Structure 1
Amino acid sequence: MKKALASLSVLSALLVLSACGSKDAAATLELGAALPEKVPSGTEIRIGDPSIQAVLGVSGLGKELADAGVTVEWANISGGPQSIQAFRGDKLDCSAVADIPSLFAAWTGTPTKIVFQSVTIDPLQHPTYELGVAPGSPVASLADLRGKKIAYSAGQAQGALVLRVLQKAGLTQQDVTLVDLTSTGDSYRTALGSKAVDVAPLGTSTVRTYKSKYPGATTIPTGIRDDASTLYCLTKAVQDSGKAAALKAYVAVRAKALLWSNDHPDEYSKAYLQDVQGLSEADAKAYLADSGDKGIPATWDNAQDRLQATADLLATEQKHDKLDVSTLVDRRFEKVEADAAGGKVVTGDAS
């Protein structure tokens, strides 16, 4: 009798383990499989996407996520270094960044996938960055960069921009002094103001503040397209069928939120630029006028080509392995965001 009970216990345990294994297998989604339509009850995605978080709150679009059964745990995280660190600690599923973090995540062993791309309608007329020039420094054009000290962060969009600027100016890293400095908060503006560096890339939202704080400070345009804007996620998040379904819904709503912010600049300015970013009303309005409208591309072809060119440049200049960026882009989400944008897609990708 005891042997029979023991055998039954072992069998029961094996059945439980088998059931668990089946459940886990069912929850895993192959990267080439169709995205699920239904979000399982209790699914939660952890996202660092501050501007969209603000828009969803003020636009009413957050209700669409709730109606789809999506629960978002918002993280106060932005930028490549923060997001990659959070990915490694399994504290985050997705984050809004430029295109560089996906490259560095791959080069440092953190598998991710880009699930969203947006573009600036007139990228050269409305750049994301200008080159801040320290007060009194004789830099009036790209040709004046030779011999200058330039703030540089290898793993951020600003670092890639510096390398592209040097390339455009016909200069190499040996022609300037690159000063390793992560762009966080006021770090670049402070370095410029103290003349620790001669030049540093500044987001256009901070240019006015920089010039007003440091008399004699100037900026010059880069003349380079710098509008890359993505949402990237841990690969294991898009391989989780529940999270993948939630992300499909999120990507669609995110596309609508970007377009809503174009159509409601005053509400967007108040909800995000002023209440979250801390800009004054005047600075927020000036930033919106300078930054231009964002668009949803009908195809990701051009964005992927630009990412490949950047990856090739960084591989050469920073001694990384060559990288095929198609392995970083999950194009199943391409049609999701384009369909959500409807007739408002940017067919030429503003190239």
Structure 2
Amino acid sequence: MRRLSFLLTAVLLAGCASDDGGATLELTAALPEKVPSGTEIRIGDPAIQAVLGASGLDKELSEAGVEVEWANISGGPQSIQAFRADKLDCSAVADIPSLFAAWTGTSTRIVFQSVTVDPLTHPIYQLGVAPGVAVTSLADLRGKKIAYSAGQAQGALVLRVLQKAGLSQKDVTLVELTSTGDSYVTALGSKAVDVAPIGAANAKIYKAKYPGATAILTGIRDDASTLYCLTSSVQDAEKAAALKVYVGLRARALLWQNENPDGYSKAYLQKVQGLGPEDAKDVIASDGVKGIPATWDNAIARLQATADLLATEQKQEKLDVSTLVDRRFEKVEADAVGSQVVSGDAA
């Protein structure tokens, strides 16, 4: 039960009540320091869920009075649907879902940013090429059928790749296909498409499964990794206090993941994802080291550039992405890792 004493003493609250009786926290107010016992947040963050358990950091959540209702949800389409049904507070995604949430009338805020320390060496995606299709450079994309999902990170990457190659949408055939599970790999293997962005960690598996299949690097930074939440959840004083705890522990969990690859492999890649030890090892090798940026400036600039590109290419409204980011949490995650922040976060 939410504690009335907390509601009466919380600092800088708006002073009005939300629909469920909790106090509303202004988006410009300081994050509350204390979490009322039993405060619950609903989060779709499967990898971090596993890491928190393996590292023992989940105990600190409980000690802080935070209860997490975990959801096996990640990615834009699933999370936006769950937000609209009020079944979820936050979800781990790339940066694109926050844009499409705004464009489709769902108000969210990014509360966590992480980066890959060497993003061009360890990209999240490669361009998978169907067996027998000749694509060895971005210029070879002309005339090809490319898997495309407008509301996902993969779709934005396709547009950025075309831009880098000096091509337009008219120079290729974009095949609308939501990326779920192995859908892109299956589409490539069946030659329903010629090219599709696939997880770099799965490229080796894909090439082994389909003789003649290949993959190429994009040469584009694609390391956006965020946690975004319903704005109404961030405005709930008690949930905001719980999220402050969660964001700090999430930052520490990522560093634990870097330092304990075997533990991460067993807890998530093998136990949750069902990968064998060797495939899990390949995933870790391709993942790269995750870092917590000292500032979100560069990440926000990259998100604005992506929003501008999508507004042009997809005929969306112009967005000021600063309205989608809750920078109060910037210091929370940086403070949680101290001197281990990634200084500069090179653009």
Post-superposition offset of 1:204 = 1.3
Pick from 221, 227, 232 the counterpart of residue 231 of structure 1: 227
Post-superposition offset of 1:37 = 0.6
Match of 1:100, as an amino acid?
Answer: I
1:277-302 Cα deviation digits (max 9, x unpaired)? 11111111111112211000000000
Q: Which residue of 2 aligns with 1:127?
A: 123
Q: Which residue of 2 aligns with 1:270?
A: 266
**Which residues of structure 2 form unaligned runs of 5+?**
1-14
Q: Percent identity?
A: 80
Pick from 167, 170, 192 the counterpart of residue 196 of structure 1: 192
Q: Distance in 2 between matches of 1:282 and 1:255?
A: 27
Q: Which residue of 2 aligns with 1:149?
A: 145
Larger radius of gyration: 1
Q: Which residue of 2 aligns with 1:221?
A: 217
1:86-132 Cα deviation digits (max 9, x unpaired)? 00000000000000000000000000000000000000000000000
Provide closer, same or farther for how the CA distance between residues 320 and 267 of structure 1 changes in structure 2, counting only shifts above 3 A. Answer: same
Post-superposition offset of 1:186 = 1.1
Q: Distance in 2 between matches of 1:126 and 1:350?
A: 15
SS at match of 1:92: coil
Match of 1:56, as an amino acid?
Answer: L
Pick from 70, 76, 81 the counterpart of residue 80 of structure 1: 76
Say if 2:97 is the partner of 1:98.
Answer: no
Q: Is contact 2:131-2:213 (8 Å) kept?
A: yes
Q: Which runs of 4+ in 1 moved over 6 A?
A: 22-26
Q: Is contact 2:125-2:199 (8 Å) kept?
A: yes
Matches within 5 A, 1:182-331: 182-331=178-327
Q: Which residue of 2 aligns with 1:7?
A: none
1:23-68 Cα deviation digits (max 9, x unpaired)? 9786100000000011112310000000000001110001111111
SS at match of 1:110: coil
Q: CA RMSD in A?
A: 1.5
Say if 2:130 is the partner of 1:113.
Answer: no
Pick from 65, 70, 77 the counterpart of residue 66 of structure 2: 70
TM-score, normalising length from structure 1? 0.93
1:165-210 Cα deviation digits (max 9, x unpaired)? 0000000000000000000011101110011100000001211211
Post-superposition offset of 1:269 = 0.8
Q: Is contact 2:80-2:101 (8 Å) kept?
A: yes
Q: Is contact 2:16-2:24 (8 Å) kept?
A: no
Q: Which residue of 2 aligns with 1:176?
A: 172
Say if 2:32 is the partner of 1:39.
Answer: no
Q: Distance in 1 between matches of 2:18 and 2:186?
A: 56
Matches within 5 A, 1:162-173: 162-173=158-169
Match of 1:106, as an amino acid?
Answer: A
Match of 2:272, as an amino acid?
Answer: V
**Which residues of structure 1 form unaligned runs of 5+?**
1-18
SS at match of 2:109: strand
